[in-house]
Amino acid sequence: MRVRFFDSHCHIQDEAFTNDLEGVIRRASDAGVERMLCCGTEESDWPRVLDLAGKYPVVKPAVGLHPICAARADSCWLERLRTNLRLVPAAVGEVGLDAAVEKPDMSEQEQMLRDQLAVAADMSRPVSLHCRRAWGRLVDLLKSIRLPERGVVIHSYSGSPDLVAELVRIGPVYFSFSGSITRPSNRRGRASLPCVPADRLLIETDAPDIPPILDDGSESARPNEPSRLPIVAKAVATVLGENVEQIAAVTWRNACLVFGD
């Protein structure tokens, strides 16, 4: 039986793929990647994300404002997000908190995240969530709100192993691992992975970013593509002592439960 994969977070709307999008989709299909969540990051790319989802059945759409866009948002962005979500059964994402950017306004980021999570909860939409160097703030925020029943997926999880259990207790929080898990220096990721319950595990490429490390120790070519998801699955399987087929099946089931099949 053919092994199938679900890339739970990528950005194929990125201009890096403009000249070879058909090739990107074809190579993903050849690699067994039968679904991919294409995540918007700012209003200007929402139409492209939705257009790709309408054109390619393999693409599931997500629209939202990334935390680095907080300072650029106008007063009407939230209503426009609601309008898009009423028109299309999309997820909400990529949203989150990022304290690693230069001079972050964390209060502004937190309010934007609260607003988007509230929309997701009200409209019963899943969420793809970004977090960098703001784990304490994120935990406190998630504890203080009603989470979307469909779930919140923390993409490219980089938090501590101890934090996994705390996040699981909060509600339907899932953990997605990217090509960073293939890097020898990512000891935290390899320590966190076994702490994730099997029914909360997902995998992703975050294409065009985070190209995985190949078996020979070299970094795969940029831009990264969804077709390289099996490399991530193999690394996850190695850490967990499973085989790739098991990881593909578990993460496919979980991703379909959250984002739909």
Residue 32 sits in a domain whose CATH number is 3.20.20.140
pLDDT at 38: 99
Cis peptide before 94 (omega within 30 of 0): yes
Q: What residue has token string 């994120």? A: 138
Residues 143-192 have pLDDT tens digits of 999 999 999 999 999 999 999 999 999 999 999 999 999 999 999 999 99
Is the distance from CB of 228 to CB of 178 less than 8 angstroms?
no
Q: Of 104, 63, 99, 69, nearest to 81 (Cα)?
A: 63
pLDDT at 69: 86
pLDDT at 220: 93
pLDDT at 60: 99
E strand or H helix at 214, and its extent? none
Judge whether residue 103 has pLDDT over 90.
no
What is the mean pLDDT of the segment spanning 131-139? Answer: 98
Q: Which range marks the domain in which residue 106 is found?
A: 5-259
Is the distance from CB of 14 to CB of 39 less than 8 angstroms?
no
Judge whether residue 104 has pLDDT over 90.
no
Give the length of the chain: 261
Residues 207-228 have pLDDT tens digits of 999 999 999 999 999 999 999 9
The answer to whether the Cα torsion of 143, 148, 149, 152 is positive or negative is negative
What is the mean pLDDT of the segment spanning 101-130? Answer: 96
| Alpha helices, DSSP H, located in 43-172 | 46-55, 77-87, 106-123, 135-143, 161-170
Q: pLDDT-derived band of residue 78, with 50, 70 and 90 as boundaries?
A: very high
DSSP assignments along 127-162, one per residue: EEEEEES-HHHHHHHHHTSPPPTT-EEETT--S-HH
Domain count along the chain: 1
pTM for the full predicted model: 0.97
Judge whether residue 1 has pLDDT over 80.
no
